[in-house]
Amino acid sequence: MSFQDEVKALKERGDIVLVAHNYQIGPIQDAADYAGDSFGLAKKVTELDVEYVVFCGVDFMAESALILNTDKTVIHPEPKARCPMAAMVDIDELREFKRKNPDTAVVSYVNTNVETKAESDVCCTSSNAVKVVKSLREHKVLFLPDRNLGDYITRFVKDKEITLWEGYCGTHDNITVKSIMELKDRYPDAEVLVHPECKPEVVDIADYVGSTAGMLKRAVESHAKRLIIGTEMEMGHRMRIQAPDKEFYFPDDPLCQNMKKITTDKVLRSLKELQPVVDIDKKLMERARKPLERMMEIGRGN
């Protein structure tokens, strides 16, 4: 039986949803009920009447899915699939910063662990980061953990004092101007789309900067026949399905090894055994939900 058929058979009981991040391998994305970005998936699950959620992504994504869906059991097929950037926040260092800077608002990217969210005033995604920071009453802001996304925000928010945490996503930070320009020399008509987790000098030469969902939309709608994409290369899977007439090039072949720790075997095992279950202390989860809810509140306003 193929992997897809096995997944279908295991889901026949009707109370399981399988969701996969855009950086998961193609067969897992294809077998999933929904594929997308981390926060979009966590929100999507809130609309579903299911008992079990098998979340294929890294640790903070499965945590966010549980924080927003405490009535469901969230299963993470490989708990060792952890985001190194989320792990770059030392919680004691963050608490010390807060103690010394009580007038500074702490804004954390959703790519953070539950402990970091619990210490934050508000969360943001790569698509609403600028709007969230602009909406704050406070003049001083600490943005964490991604210094590159933080730098991107400072381009649009000039009236605040923004301190950047020294974190970064190695997958995006390794994408170079040189590799992009080599492709541009070969394909001068190509459009350059990059994620704001890329270095500032990469953002400088892009035609479009946005989240994975934004990049996918742009790739489909663009008049360019060739696109140079600055994000994890598995993103090409959905781009090629949704824009089959276009060519996609990924400079420096960016791969997130942690995302790839979720394998088809582990997904099947999780669907069979409904394990390993994500378990977070209830009080910690309550505290981590508040900055997420505040972000959604800001998203609803104009």
Q: Which residues bind ligand SF4 (CB under 6 A)?
A: 23, 58, 83-85, 111, 169, 171, 232, 256, 258-259
**How far apart are the C-alpha atoms of 206 and 163, rounded to whole Å?**
25
Q: How far is the CB of 267 from ligand SF4 (least distance, A)?
A: 17
Q: How far is the CB of 262 from ligand SF4 (least distance, A)?
A: 11
Q: How far is the CB of 216 from ligand SF4 (least distance, A)?
A: 16
Q: Which is nearer to ligand SF4, 58 or 288 (CB)?
A: 58
Beta-bridged to residue 295, according to DSSP, are none
Q: Which is nearer to ligand SF4, 23 or 52 (CB)?
A: 23
C-alpha pair distances (Å), 184 with each of 73, 200, 221, 243 = 47, 18, 20, 20
Q: How far is the CB of 103 from ligand SF4 (least distance, A)?
A: 29
Q: Which residues contact 92 (CB under 8 A, 6 or more apart)?
A: none
C-alpha pair distances (Å), 75 with each of 17, 54, 68, 115, 206 = 10, 5, 14, 19, 37
Q: Which is nearer to ligand SF4, 135 or 174 (CB)?
A: 174
Q: How far is the CB of 32 from ligand SF4 (least distance, A)?
A: 17
**How far apart are the C-alpha atoms of 136 and 120, rounded to whole Å?**
13
Q: How far is the CB of 170 from ligand SF4 (least distance, A)?
A: 6
Q: How far is the CB of 130 from ligand SF4 (least distance, A)?
A: 19
**How far apart are the C-alpha atoms of 58 and 285, rounded to whole Å?**
18
**How far apart are the C-alpha atoms of 160 and 171, rounded to whole Å?**
29
Q: Which is nearer to ligand SF4, 58 or 192 (CB)?
A: 58
Q: Which is nearer to ligand SF4, 121 or 146 (CB)?
A: 146
Q: Which is nearer to ligand SF4, 16 or 193 (CB)?
A: 193
| Strand order across the beta sheet in which 226-230 lies | 208-209, 191-194, 226-230, 247-249
Query: What is the SS3 assignment for 168?
Result: coil
Tokens describing residue 180: 């992009």
Q: 163: closest CA among 172, 173, 153?
A: 153
Q: Which is nearer to ligand SF4, 169 or 219 (CB)?
A: 169
Q: Which is nearer to ligand SF4, 98 or 261 (CB)?
A: 261
H/E stretch holding 300: helix 282-300
Q: How far is the CB of 177 from ligand SF4 (least distance, A)?
A: 19
H/E stretch holding 201: helix 200-204
Q: 142: closest CA among 158, 125, 126, 162?
A: 162
